[in-house]
Amino acid sequence: MSDIYRIRAAAARARGHVRRTPLLSSAALDARAGRRIWVKAECLQVTGSFKARGAWAAVSALAPEVRARGVIAFSSGNHAQGVAWAAAAHGAPAVILMPQDAPAVKIEGTRALGAEVVLYDRLTQDRAALAVGIGGDRGLTLIPPYDHPEVIAGQGTTGLEIVADAAEAGIAAAEVLVCCGGGGLASGIALALEAEAPAFRVRTAEPAGFDDMARSLASGDRVSNPAATGSICDAILTPRPGAMTFPILRERAGPGLAVSDDEALAAMSLAFSHLHIVLEPGGAVALAAALFRGDELATGDVIAVASGGNVESALFAEAIARYPA
């Protein structure tokens, strides 16, 4: 099955379940950036992030008898909620491994969707090994957060919408900045753009100090982050790029970008003031790159994917207070 066929098939299965999110713009943000900026508001997606797309694609692709036995996933929060939601909608049990230090709003959100949450210590325990062990004991199917063909295809449906909305807005070419952890969203969008809009190019955006994808793209090989924690952008902190996603991006993406935590917070405040959307830090790094890394971008339009909005209220209030728009 070709990549674009898998993405189109995922889009067909998601119709009526996954939201088509808008492409937003603001004259004030354009003025700050010195170019037109468009924001794909995946923070308005079901469960508050793009992860619902990949989760639905993976769960809906399972054979009914396999799906009925249940699924298992590991995630700091957004993939957790996506899989919990998709499993519940299909009447399947779900077990989700989450780090003990994940934001409470994400842990409780996952439980509220009906999943069994198992907490682990990200510094001393291997989440993948734990998932394989529990899944094997219970007969559950593992749905990883990015290294899975259906998950990538589901995230790629974001790219199909970007292409359609860009055409309607008269955007002939653009750099598409994508918040990046393991690379599932960026690789899915890159595959969709390659087939549907080759004049558009993906650029990954990550927190400074945790820019393993940017460094990997620069070196040509997967490299790891030196630490597991240390940024407020919890949603996109991964040990290193995915084994499946990195080769896709190595062939299709431009150089990666990195922004500071403070720039992510400022982007959250600006998005709230000028676009009236709520972003979490990890979901704001692409917009932060569009606003604060203009010298590293090609001239012309930029599309930033606002990938998630599941943020603790205290942290969001801090962003607004520290960086009034």
pLDDT band with cut points at 50, 70 and 90 for residue 32: very high
- For 237, the domain range is 4-50+149-322
Q: 169-194: b or e for each residue (b if 16 or more CB lie within 10 Å)? A: eebeebbbbbbbbbbbbbbbbbbbbb
pTM for the whole thing?
0.97
CA 69/CA 63 separation, integer angstroms: 10
Name the domain count of the chain: 2
- Tell me if residue 26 is catalytic: no
Q: Which CATH number belongs to the domain containing residue 79 in this structure?
A: 3.40.50.1100
Strand 94-99: give its sheet, edge to edge: 116-120, 94-99, 71-74, 141-142
Residue range 288-307, pLDDT digits in tens: 999 999 999 999 999 999 99
Instruction: Please pick, among 40, 51, 76, 106, the residue that the annotation labels catalytic.
Output: 51
Report, in angstroms and rounded to the nearest whole number, the Rg of the chain calculated over CA atoms.
Answer: 18
Residue among 293, 260, 286, 259 nearest 271 (CA): 286
pLDDT at position 280 over 90: yes
Residue among 247, 215, 236 nearest 288 (CA): 236
For residues 13 and 80, membership in a common domain is answered with no
Residue range 174-211, pLDDT digits in tens: 999 999 999 999 999 999 999 999 999 999 999 999 99
Out of 95, 120, 142, pick the residue that ends a domain. Answer: 142
- Tell me if residue 60 is catalytic: no
Out of 120, 142, 164, pick the residue that ends a domain. Answer: 142
Out of 83, 114, 142, pick the residue that ends a domain. Answer: 142
Residue among 13, 23, 69, 67 nearest 43 (CA): 23
For residues 173 and 222, membership in a common domain is answered with yes
What is the predicted pLDDT for the residue at 105? 87
Residue range 102-147, pLDDT digits in tens: 888 899 999 999 999 999 998 899 999 999 999 999 999 999 999 9
For residues 293 and 252, membership in a common domain is answered with yes
Pair 56, 18: CB distance under 8 Å:
yes
Residue range 256-276, pLDDT digits in tens: 999 999 999 999 999 999 999
The length of the chain in residues reads 325
Instruction: Please pick, among 75, 76, 216, 307, the residue that the annotation labels catalytic.
Output: 307
